[in-house]
Structure 1
Amino acid sequence: MKVPVFPLNSVVLPGGRIPLQLFEPRYIDMLTRCLKSDEGFVITLLRDGAEAGRVASFYETGTYVRIIDFQQLENGLLGITVEGEAKVSIARSWQQDDGLNLCEMEFLPAEAPGSIPVAFHELPSVLRALFRHPVIRDLGMSVNYEDARDVGWRLTELLPLDKQEKQHLIEIQDPLERLNRLQGLLEALEEG
């Protein structure tokens, strides 16, 4: 499947939402094509380079997203909100003349939902606290606080972790392994 790639310094996972501001012609054209064809694109984490730069390297595991809302912002830019549908692996990527990155991608196997073991009982509370922030609340995301997969995905998106760590968490396919890693990272953050 050939789709556009949008490299960012932020991540989104299945069921997650992220607002974006579009001002570069390559991304406005991408938005137009995606809306006309009712298709999505891939958001992946930047490895090197800038979001607005023409030269950027990015990680090979990302998330296929669809546009769920768009509007003209007060600053004159085009704002969109996307929602993650599925994790993907980028098999091959290249850049068009206009600077838009494209890729051939494959959907990764869906992670199985599951309950949260007692050892990780604090993680849903941390996530509930993050969801009380107005910016997060305004995204209108739903979350199942009893599902290990959902809690792990939302914490990966929202916790202030460095991008290599976020990428490592994205690449994990086992929700309990992700929760174990998140638990360790939270303990390290608390120790300061």
Structure 2
Amino acid sequence: MTGVELPLFPLAAVLFPGGTLDLRIFEPRYLDLVRDCARQDRAFGVCLILAGTEAGAGAVPAAIGTLARIVDFHTLPDGLLGIRVRGGGRFHIGATRVRDNGLVLGDARLWPDEPTLPVPPEYGLLATLLERLLERIGGEMARVARRCYDDASWVGFRLAEQLPFTPGEQQQLLQLTDPLERLAWLTRELPRFQDG
């Protein structure tokens, strides 16, 4: 696990590896973060907020988060900056410090990528469910290569972000390091979302 200093963007949402998030940027500390990351072509860290709020005083971020790389900029209808980020690898934050502008920096240990494992037959229903769900939603994810549905990590992360789990449950799924354990967790919880 490699160490790196990361600017952190605590959110009331979880970003998963390979997923995307649209963010509305208006606080000076985050405008600075976006400017610096865009200029240096570097990622920042997205962490779930454990205490506090997204705007204003510093929030307490979860220790495990996801690298975020900016993939698009746009102006929102209200004139503010909008960005789209894509999730990369995961990391664990050790010590944190706060800059004068309120931006939190963390000493991060980068986690290795999960092994690429095929979706076992007993979890095949999850891949089928995900494919139907993404077809219904449309957009970029609906056009992914067929081989993605054979990747246990990809299927697990996409279901974790698409099903209506609480942010705390999504954080649990992010923190699991075994893609098959994540699929087992999803299988156990799936009955909650079936029509009664």
* TM-score when normalising by structure 1: 0.92
% identity of equivalent residues: 37
Moved over 3 A (4+): 138-143
- 1:111 equivalent to 2:114? Answer yes
* Aligned length in residues: 191
Kindly provide the amino acid, as one letter, of the partner of residue 135 in structure 2: R
Q: Distance in 2 between matches of 1:50 and 1:133?
A: 32
Residue in structure 2 matched with residue 157 of structure 1 by the alignment? 161
Residue in structure 1 matched with residue 152 of structure 2 by the alignment? 148
Q: 1:180 aligns with which of 179, 184, 195?
A: 184
Q: Unpaired runs of 5+ in structure 1?
A: none
Q: 1:76 aligns with which of 79, 99, 103?
A: 79
Q: Unpaired runs of 5+ in structure 2?
A: none
Q: Distance in 2 between matches of 1:74 and 1:138?
A: 22
Q: Distance in 1 between matches of 2:15 and 2:141?
A: 12
Q: RMSD across aligned C-alpha pairs, in angstroms?
A: 1.9
CA deviation vs aligned residue, 1:90-113 (integer Å, no higher than 9, x gap): 111122121111111011121001
1:105-144 alignment to 2 at 5 Å?
105-134=108-137, 137-138=139-140, 142=144, 144=148
Q: Distance in 2 between matches of 1:16 and 1:43?
A: 12
Distance of aligned partners of 1:130 and 1:95 in 2 relative to their CA distance in 1, 3 Å threshold: farther
Kindly provide the amino acid, as one letter, of the partner of residue 117 in structure 1: P
* TM-score when normalising by structure 2: 0.90
Q: Distance in 2 between matches of 1:87 and 1:142?
A: 22
CA deviation vs aligned residue, 1:153-174 (integer Å, no higher than 9, x gap): 1111222111221111111000
